[in-house]
Amino acid sequence: MDFKLPSFSASTFSSLFKTEVKSVLGVDIGSSAIKVVQLRREKGRVILETYGAISLGPYAGVEIGRATALGADKISEALKDVIREANVTTQDAAISIPYSSSLVSIIRLPATVEKQLAQVVPIEARKYIPVPINEVLLDWFVVSGGAKSGGASPDGKIDVLLVAIHNDTIAKFRSIATSSSLNAAFFEIEVFSAVRASLDHGIAPVAVVDLGAATTKFYVVERGLIHESHIINHGAQDLTLAASRALGLTVAQAEEKKRKFGLVNLLPPTPGSNIAADSLKNSIELSLTPLLSEISRTVSAYEQRTNQTLDALVMTGGGATLKGFMEFAQTKIQAQLRLADPFGKTQAPAFLEAILKEAGPEFSVAVGLALRRLQELG
């Protein structure tokens, strides 16, 4: 796992005839869909070769857009399908681990133990991890107060980002990769991939808000490092379920209309139906408001606790692609909002620009994984 946003520099080619163009695949296995993005680096440019997504609902026997809890065999089946449909041509892959399958926490330690973290962190981690330490993969990174960041804070403490993934989770995702004929170069918790694809380098603290199907993740990033993270148990599928109940539609019908109309175009009345033209919009707004209020409270709590102002909230994830979402969210949240544009870090045909910009937030994790793999290859 890599906690630091890498700096992407142009590759140097000694000879065009000796250049080997290497394609890599980022695989984001979410709760409601799998997204894949294939990139290559050529003459210092990151080229988008292909991308695709597939809903997991049908593999679980539920509607498209619903969160699922599939076993490795079903995930492998879906992954192989999207690889085929997207015409993926490489087996060199990087795969995300869901945030829900990991533990990410900030722990405070005396600055005097910085040189002994390899011994101290596993002992301290026992306070946070409900299973034996030998059953998890541990990693950590000093995010503030360390020798590289100007020394300890006034209270003599350093902040360490602690990450733990259960060995069974790693084994499951290795099995998925093998069954899908992929060579997994690494596995990375989705938070780090999303941040890499969504942000440029900057000093001021920024929040990345990832709106998934089942949950919304909130990450604070400063100087390229994740300083804290929160999970909000409200996601895009809640909008669909609320619309289904309010409009008397099946979940599948509500999901289709949500994706088509969102908060922008009013739902046209259906002959013989008593559904008002603005019922869908009203339903989505009512369901979104508690989520946006929780995001706003999280921002306020962070700013009051740290005495720092967040420079912006960068919105990403499939939920952020809802038509009219950004405009409505800005009326509920005082901080500046920006929509993530992960494909902006790649080059693609001009005629795809508008499509990629609109779909981009949904592919942040997959793009972030592929970018890191390209960086590793040099």
79 SS3 class:
helix
Model pLDDT for residues 117-134, shown as the tens digit of each residue: 999 999 999 988 888 889
Q: Shortest CA distance to 202 belongs to which of 1, 7, 3? A: 7
- Cα separation, 366 vs 165, in Å, equals 19
Which pair of structure tokens corresponds to residue 246? Answer: 């309010």
In the DSSP assignment, the letter for residue 61 is T
Specify the pLDDT at position 94: 97
Residue type, 12: T
Architecture of domain 102-167: 2-Layer Sandwich (3.30)
- Cα separation, 262 vs 288, in Å, equals 12
**Alpha-carbon distance values, 334 to 41, 195, 292, 295 (Å):** 39, 22, 11, 11
Model pLDDT for residues 25-64, shown as the tens digit of each residue: 999 999 999 999 999 999 889 999 999 999 999 999 998 8
Beta bridge partners of residue 231, listed in sequence order: 217
Output 280 or 314, whichever has higher pLDDT: 314
Model pLDDT for residues 313-367, shown as the tens digit of each residue: 999 999 999 999 999 999 999 999 999 999 999 999 899 999 999 999 999 999 9
Query: Are 102 and 36 within 8 A, CB to CB?
Result: no
Specify the pLDDT at position 11: 31
* pTM value surpassing 0.85: yes
**Alpha-carbon distance values, 104 to 154, 161, 279, 314 (Å):** 25, 7, 39, 20
Which pair of structure tokens corresponds to residue 132? Answer: 């034996």
The residues spanned by each domain of the chain are 102-167
Which of 47-61, 86-100, 179-193, 251-265 has the lowest average pLDDT? 251-265
DSSP H helix total and E strand total for the chain = 11, 13
